[in-house]
Amino acid sequence: MTRIRLTVLALAMSLAASSAGAADKIKVVTTIPDLADMTRNIGGDLVDVTSIATGVEDIHAVPMKPSFAVQLNKADVVVLMGLEMEHAFLPGLLDAARNPKIMRDAPGYIDASAYIIPLDVPQRIDRALGDQHPMGNPHVNLDPVRGKDLARAIADGLSRNYPEHADQFKTNLDAYLAKLDAAIARWEKEAAPLKGKKLVSYHPDMVYFADRFGLKPVGTIELRAGVDPTPSHVAELEDMMRRDKVEIVVREISYPAGLAESVAQSTGAKLVELPVMTGGAPDATDYISFIDHNVRTMLGAVQGGT
Ligand SMILES: [Zn+2]
């Protein structure tokens, strides 16, 4: 009797230890915090998630640290935005990590853009010209409706790798989508004053946000994605902005402030500083608060006068 009791106790203790231990969780590495937050919502207690970027970086130039390769070496799955957004760092890190589970085309390589139809797909791809958006615009995370498609692709990717947990992932996904839907209904109401406003941004990363909330992106300070502006480009841009009465200049936080400020000043437009990822502002701690931050910041600029 005592021996059985002891055996049961030992078994219970080992079960408790293993279910509580991070060692048994599905180890997920995501490229950006937006995808990390979605994966935590979908994976719940089953996942242990880390993100490579913190949200303040230029996503096309995230520095490759050896610690990222170590994390990827131990990962069960990697979740990325795709559309070549992580081209600057992810292929190199995956080579260094030597983890067959998460190499491109392996089941553990979860492309969150799988259900996205990208905007701005170029007619001709020429990396030699420095184009950072060869597959179309990858900044999908700025639109919360397309964000739902990112979440669905993550849930499907997790279920493909762990079919035994598919029901749990589906339940968690549905709860998260319901939360997101409620927030989207609120944002669409709040953002009504943004409709029809023209904007220029430093980098072409506002197209999905603009598409959702009815703004019109009419130009960029960069010559094109990843190509620095020339003085003649800036002069032409400013002429166009004065002529077309462009009201907003967006300076994404990883881009230089000086030029965006002078473009705004010389054209009478309002300068708006925005994060382009979750974690890019102190109050943008998860995906919903990130979209909240951007909608409210943009509204503040439009309604603030000047
Ligand atoms: Zn970009």
Mean pLDDT to the nearest integer, 171-178? 98
Ligand 1 centroid – CA 252 distance (Å): 11
Question: Residue 168 burial (CB < 10 Å; 0-12/13-18/19+)?
Answer: middle
In whole angstroms, give the CA distance from residue 211 to residue 194: 11
pLDDT at residue 22, as a whole number: 65
Average pLDDT over residues 240-260: 97
Cα(110) to centroid(ligand 1), Å? 20
Of the chain, the percentage scoring pLDDT greater than 70 comes to: 90
pLDDT digits (tens, 9 = 90+) for 30-80: 999 999 999 999 999 999 999 999 999 999 999 999 999 999 999 999 999
How much distance in Å is there from the Cα of 49 to the middle of ligand 1? 24
The rounded Å distance from CA 138 to ligand 1 centre is 6
Residue 247, classed as helix, strand or coil, is coil
β-pair type (248-252, 198-201):
parallel
At 304, the pLDDT band (50, 70, 90 cuts) reads confident
Residue 264 has pLDDT above 80, yes or no: yes
User: Does the predicted model carry a pTM greater than 0.85?
Assistant: yes
CA distance 197 to 303: 11
Between the CA of 52 and the centroid of ligand 1 the distance, in Å, is 17
Provide CB contacts within 8 A for 223, sequence distance 6+. Answer: 229, 230, 233
Crossing angle of helices 257-267 and 231-244, in 10° steps, is 40
**Predicted local distance difference test score (pLDDT) of residue 123:** 82
pLDDT of amino acid 122: 85
Q: Give me the count of residues in the chain.
A: 306
What's the pLDDT tens digit per position in 176-201?
999 999 999 999 999 999 999 999 99
Ligand 1 center to residue 245 CA distance, Å?
25
Residue 127's pLDDT is 60
Burial of 14 (0-12, 13-18, 19+ CB in 10 A): exposed
